[in-house]
Amino acid sequence: MNPAPKELTIRGLVLGALLTTVFTAANVYLGLKVGLTFASSIPAAVISMAILSRVKDSTILENNIVQTVASAAGTLSAIIFVLPGLVIVGWWAGFPFWQSFLICVAGGVLGVLFTIPLRRALVTTSDLPYPEGVAAAEVLKVGSGVRGETKDDTGEAREGLTAVMLGTFASAGLAILGATRIAATEIAGVFRLGGTASSGYQIAWSLALLGAGHLVGLSVGMAMLVGQVISWVIALPILTSMQPMAEGVTLTAHTMGIWRTQVRFIGAGAIAVASIYTLAKLAKPVVAGLVSTLAASRAVKTGDETDRDLEPAWIYVLTAVCMVITAYLAYTFAQSVPALASSALKLTIIAVPFVLLVGFLIAGVCGYMAGLIGASNSPISGVGILSIVICASTIVLAVAPTPETRPALVAFALFVTAIVFACATISNDNLQDLKTGQLVGASPRRQQIALIVGVASGAAVIPPVLNLLAKAYGFAGAPNIGVVAPNPLPAPQATLISALAQGVIGGSLEWKMIGIGAAVGVGLILVDLMLGTMKKLRIPPLAVGIGIYLPMSATFAVIVGAVISHWYDKRARAMPNPGRAERLGTLVASGLIVGESLWGVLNAGLIVAFAKDAPIGLVPEDFALAKPLGVIGFIAAIVWLYGWMLRRSAVAR
């Protein structure tokens, strides 16, 4: 009798935890820079296969555990859409390790637990597509290199690892060249349009953002382009023409000031409306899925390990522990603030049921949305926006804000919402991983244990990485005292969610611009619906709103990557093995994101250590050849990488 194949192993958990460090750090940096994170399942699966294929008794199930751990931690990094808000509003100067760690652990573990009852209805018996889960399963099946199962006779695993490494080295190399100042990583400027109107441009030669554009595809890329046109070609010239430049103010300060304080809030309004619309559009299938879940929960359990979840006793115990952690965090946070100390118990009584009830609701919503449209495309930002508005509104009803308590109440709302958001991010990923497991014959129970390990690993990595980036770069809108680098990270979602919390509690929000943005959002929804009826390329309203809200430097390369991805996909379909060509594109794009993002974190450490904004700068800041060399390096890397993929894909196997 053959022994059961290895699955939940110490070496698999350790390898997954090590990959967690890499992908979490990369995702934190990318999320703060551009407001996007990437799914780490596929690159983690490829790296796992390449390493474990050299071990005699490794299995596809063990590889699946590795990618499960790494994907959970990579997804948890989306907590940066909320947590930096506490620094942006000036409440935290940094990220206290234990508070930040416990926020991530409590919310993340709840995200795992709340989706366990949904598995049978939304994974086992569902026809939801789960695009990333299916793709990860295909990668595991094709290139596992498992002895006695699917041998890597075609070298798929080795080729996949090569693809990831090429992308990693290319993007890290260009970023390092930029850090030496030999090649410019960005060009920017402003210009007049007529008498008083003005606009500007910010173009970043970022291979990481190009990789993100390859992954999100043409529809999202074109939506971001529309957003940039609305922001820089329409809104900014109109608003600058209506507000003449004050005496003594430079054209750059005047133009960028209006973009930051007015144009961005048009984007915020569009994002809010688009998020609500996207969630409402999914309401019917979500409700149907939850109804099916209730029926499935009464189904008779089987002894089949491939249909066995974590034991109910453990679910109840771990949920109770997470609730105790939530109560402790909320009470100690409120108690430590003199203005809130008298209301600490009341605020805790609000926070615990809020996390439990809203957390469970969004676990079902996010899990279903991830199955329907993929974890990367799921409107998780909309969940954060709605959560902060509901949380802040509830707090205002319970504790009347005063000038003394408003800043503390804003911080408390962000603090509690961060726990709920951690729950949302993990539930957004959990069912995707369980779908992968179902397709390769894995044990749901063991995957759920691996997901909890991934949450703990990611929670340990996130606070120090955030502290490092906060000290080196700072965040847009934050006090940023003592920050070394001159250009802060945009942290778009955290900035928006912080502004919403301040607006609900303090009444200081730019409602006029948000209202204009909301009207723009309604118009975008109508245009998107019209394009759908005409069978044309869709323009997702949420992506347009993000395009309006983000700086041009954060979206230019994404748009370029989306266009190149469309061209590459058309070429790939004519190849002898289109699936192989598509996988190579995905893996190289993932490598592009990882390389530059990891260098961004490492460079942050050098900036802090040497207290210089360019610690490895070799030439002066005004080096004459920097701009042309930056463009040449960017184009050369694209031509080389895509040429390599096309040549490899042209060889039949």
* SS3 per-residue string spanning 456-513: HHHHHHHHHHHHHHHHHCCECCCCCCCCCCCCCECCHHHHHHHHHHHHHHHCCCCHHH
Residue 61 has pLDDT above 80, yes or no: yes
**Residue 358: beta bridge partners?**
none
Among 126-140, 453-467, 563-577, 638-652, which stretch is predicted with the lowest mean pLDDT? 126-140
- Of residues 356 and 27, which shows the higher confidence score? 356
- Structure confidence at residue 369 as a pLDDT band (50, 70, 90): low
Among the residue ranges 100-114, 290-304, 511-525, 549-563, the one predicted with the least confidence is 290-304
Residues 6+ apart with CB under 8 A from 98: none
Contacts for 621 with CB less than 8 Å, ≥ 6 apart: 181, 614
CA angle at 237 for the pair 231 and 242, rounded to the nearest 5°: 120
What is the band of 57 on the pLDDT scale with cuts at 50, 70, 90? confident
Q: Tell me the average pLDDT across 423-446.
A: 83
- The total of structural domains in the chain comes to 1
**Residues sharing a CB contact under 8 Å with residue 213, sequence separation 6 or more, in sequence order:** 221, 557, 558, 559, 560, 561, 562, 563, 564, 565
Q: What is the pLDDT of residue 132?
A: 67
Can you tell me whether residue 40 is helix, strand or coil?
coil
Calpha distance 552→70 (Å, rounded)? 31
Q: Is the pLDDT of residue 436 over 60?
A: yes
How sure is the predictor about 106, in pLDDT bands with cuts at 50, 70 and 90? Answer: very high
533 CB neighbour count, 10 Å cutoff? 7
Determine what percent of the chain is predicted with pLDDT higher than 70: 85
219 or 121, greater pLDDT: 219
Here the tokens at position 608 are 């802090």
Phi, psi of 388 (to 5 degrees): -70, -35
Q: Mean of the pLDDT values across residues 58-69?
A: 83
Lowest mean pLDDT: which of 40-44, 181-185, 420-424?
40-44
| Average pLDDT for 496-517 | 79
Residue 288 has a pLDDT of 63
Average pLDDT over residues 285-291: 60
Q: By percentage, how much of the chain surpasses pLDDT 90?
A: 15
Q: Is 488 helix (H, G, I), strand (E, B) or coil?
A: coil
136-152 mean pLDDT: 57
**Residue 5: inside a domain, yes or no?**
no
Residue with tokens 């990333």: 132
Domain with 164, as residue range(s), is 10-185+194-301+320-649
Q: How confident is the model at residue 560 (pLDDT cuts 50, 70, 90)?
A: very high
At residue 241, the 3 state secondary structure works out as: helix
Q: How many CB atoms lie within 10 A of CB 481?
A: 8
Residue 1 lies in a domain: no
Residue 361 or 448, more confident: 448
pLDDT, mean of residues 302-316:
76
Q: Is residue 483 part of a domain?
A: yes
Taking the C-alpha atoms of residue 173 and residue 171, their distance in angstroms, rounded to an integer, is: 5
pLDDT of residue 177: 92
Token digits of residue 547: 């395009």
Q: How confident is the model at residue 131 (pLDDT cuts 50, 70, 90)?
A: low
Q: For the chain, give the mean pLDDT.
A: 81
The whole-model pTM stands at: 0.73
Per-residue pLDDT band at 576 (split at 50, 70, 90): confident
pLDDT band at residue 292, thresholds of 50, 70 and 90? Answer: low
Band the pLDDT of 47: cuts 50, 70, 90: confident
**207 three-class SS:** helix
Amino acid at position 94, single letter: G
The encoded tokens of residue 606 equal 């050098």
Stated length of the chain: 653
Question: Using one digit for the tens of pLDDT, what is the confidence trace for 1-35?
Answer: 455 667 778 888 888 888 877 778 777 877 787 66
The answer on pLDDT for 377 being more than 60 is no
Q: Cα 430 from chain centroid?
A: 15
Would you say residue 295 has pLDDT above 60? no
Q: Which has more pLDDT, 109 or 265?
A: 109
CA distances from 408 to 168, 252, 395, 414 (A): 42, 34, 11, 10
For position 146, what pLDDT does the model report? 40
pLDDT of residue 441: 83
CB 637, CB 207: distance < 8 Å: yes
Highest mean pLDDT among 114-118, 227-231, 511-515: 227-231
Higher-confidence position of 231 and 159: 231
Query: Rounded to whole angstroms, how far apart are CA atoms 111 and 484?
Result: 36
- Would the pLDDT of 300 be above 50? no
Q: Which residues pair with 475 in a beta bridge?
A: 489
Query: Is pLDDT at 508 greater than 60 in this prediction?
Result: yes
Residue scoring higher pLDDT (186 or 304): 186
461 burial class (0-12, 13-18, 19+ CB within 10 angstroms)?
Answer: buried
* 3-class DSSP state of 191: strand
Give rounded-to-5 percent helix, strand, coil for the chain: 75, 5, 25
Flag whether 25 is in a domain: yes
Query: What are the C-alpha distances in Å from 86 to residues 145, 181, 415, 562?
Result: 46, 33, 7, 33
Mean pLDDT of 266-273: 82
State yes or no: pLDDT of 147 exceeds 50. Answer: no
DSSP 80: G
Q: Supply φ then ψ for residue 302, to 5 degrees.
A: -110, 165
The string of DSSP codes covering 259-314 is IIIIIHHHHHHHHHHHHHHHHHHTHHHHHHHHHHHHHHTTSPP-S-GGG-PSPHHH
Q: Is the dihedral of CA 131, 8, 20, 55 positive or negative?
A: negative
Whether the predicted pLDDT of 390 surpasses 80: yes
Q: What is the mean pLDDT of residues 570-590?
A: 83
Average pLDDT over residues 154-161: 68
Which of these, 590, 616, 619, 622, lies nearest to 603 by C-alpha position?
616
- Whether the pLDDT of residue 485 is over 70: the answer is no
33-37, 69-73, 313-317, 412-416: segment of lowest average pLDDT: 33-37
Task: Tell me if 309 is assigned to some domain.
Answer: no
Pairing of strands 186-193, 197-204: antiparallel
Query: Would 582 be classed as within a structural domain?
Result: yes
Q: 594, 164 in Cβ contact below 8 A? A: yes
Structure confidence by residue, pLDDT tens digits, 254-263: 888 888 778 8
Kindly state whether residue 596 falls inside one of the protein's structural domains: yes
pLDDT of residue 142: 58
Give the pLDDT score at 382. 64
* 266 against 374, higher pLDDT: 266
347 or 160, greater pLDDT: 347
Consecutive H or E run containing 187? strand 186-193
Residue 137 in any domain: the answer is: yes
410 or 596: which leads in pLDDT: 410
* pLDDT: which is higher, 510 or 499: 499
**What pLDDT is stored for residue 304 in this prediction?**
63
Q: What φ, ψ does residue 194 adopt, rounded to 5°?
A: 80, -150
378 or 497, greater pLDDT: 497
Distance CA 371, CA 288 (A): 14
Contacts with 576 (C-beta within 8 Å, 6 or more apart), sequence order: 649, 650, 651, 652, 653
Task: Identify the weakest region by mean pLDDT among 70-79, 307-316, 532-541.
Answer: 70-79
Torsion of CA 454, 460, 466, 469, to 10 degrees: -100
Predicted confidence (pLDDT) at residue 264 exceeds the cutoff of 90 = no
Angle at 111 between CA 105 and CA 112, to 5 degrees: 95
pLDDT at 67 over 90: no
Residues forming a β-bridge with 32: none
The tokens for 63 are 């590889």
| DSSP letter, residue 200 | E
DSSP 475: B
What is the C-alpha radius of gyration for the chain, rounded to an integer number of angstroms? Answer: 24
Q: Is the model's pLDDT at 145 over the cut of 50?
A: no
